[in-house]
Amino acid sequence: MSANSDTPITVILLGTGTPQPDIERFGSATLVQAGGLTLLFDAGRGASLRLTQAGIRLGAIDAVFLTHFHSDHTAGLADVYASGYIPGPFGKRQTALPVYGPEGVVELAEGLMRAFEGDRRERAIESIPARSTVLEPHQIGEGVAFEQNGVTVRAFGTYHHDFAPTYGYRIDHAGHSVVLSGDTAADPRVAHAAKGCDLLVHEVAAIHESMADNPFFRDVVMKGHTSPEQAAAIFAEARPRLAVFTHIVQLPGGKVGPTVESILSRTGAHYDGQVIEGCDLMTIRVGGDGVHAERPAASSIALSEV
């Protein structure tokens, strides 16, 4: 799947899940195509498979941006990296792969390169440029993280936990904008960054009523995530043209947690704008004629089609 030249920004939700293994919702990963660039934001479990299903060559990723280092956002990076320099039709990367992220991104990149030293050594053939096997880390702070081809990526701080900084991203191109919250508790910085944007892709978390008093869910998990009511308040302040939920946390987990319908209903009780459930391989086109989301065919996420 290639970017439509008439669409300033195309977004593909590659993974809308959580750490829980789920064949329908892979780990967090979002593709943004703009200005002829193909940018990957987070690379959770199965990112390489979803990229392949979306028709994106692994070696075609121009840069990776990480919101934080939890495994459900980074576990797929190794495959995107190492399979991307293989000369097969799915790879063919010719240059280093830039990876942008918080403090710790240098250690992550160096660690992955060490882990795949044997692979790089054994694949050291003429058709694989040595530079293509390099991960090029860039530590970010708040502000502009990347500018190229008329595309600007800005990082803004969020609160997900106490241990290290976490970030969301705003992508601007040709007068249009997309904001990705990353994992975050309800944070006014998200609303500020998303003011008047075209598309806001935001996480959400909810606890089933039968487990509402569970101290781990209530006091630990929800401390770093956003409830439907809190998301509604952020949407009401930002007023995006479209809000889409991703990283949908349904405690105690998956299909035994709150339904997506109940999450949308709770959000809608406090926000009158358009909010939809994101799903893996949903394509969202952002342009002058509006923001249009297209769900994949039911069979398109089957692994047998990869």
**Which H or E element spans position 167?**
strand 166-173
pLDDT digit string (tens) for 111-121?
999 999 999 99
* Predicted pLDDT of residue 2: 45
Domain region containing 264: 9-296
In a domain, 150, yes or no: yes
In a domain, 302, yes or no: no
In a domain, 277, yes or no: yes
In a domain, 252, yes or no: yes
- As a whole-number percent, the residues of the chain with pLDDT over 90 amount to 90
Closest by CA to 137, choosing from 92, 183, 104, 91, is 104
pLDDT digit string (tens) for 26-72?
999 999 999 999 999 999 999 999 999 999 999 999 999 999 999 99
pTM of the model: 0.95
Task: Look up residue 287 and give its two tokens.
Answer: 């342009």
289-304 burial, b if ≥16 CB within 10 A, otherwise e? eebebeebeeeebeee
Give the phi and the psi of residue 53 in degrees, each rounded to 5. -65, -30
For residue 107, give the CATH number of its domain: 3.60.15.10
In a domain, 18, yes or no: yes
Active-site residue list: 72
Q: Give yes or no for residue 304 having a pLDDT over 60.
A: no
pLDDT digit string (tens) for 173-211?
999 999 999 999 999 999 999 999 999 999 999 999 999
d(CA 144, CA 285): 23
Task: Look up residue 8 and give its two tokens.
Answer: 């300033």
Q: How many domains does the chain have?
A: 1
In the sheet with 151-158, reading across from the earlier edge strand, the strands are 143-148, 151-158, 166-173, 176-180, 199-207, 242-251, 275-277
Q: Does residue 123 contact residue 117 with C-beta atoms inside 8 Å?
A: no
**Burial (Cβ within 10 Å: 0-12, 13-18, ≥19) of residue 20:** middle
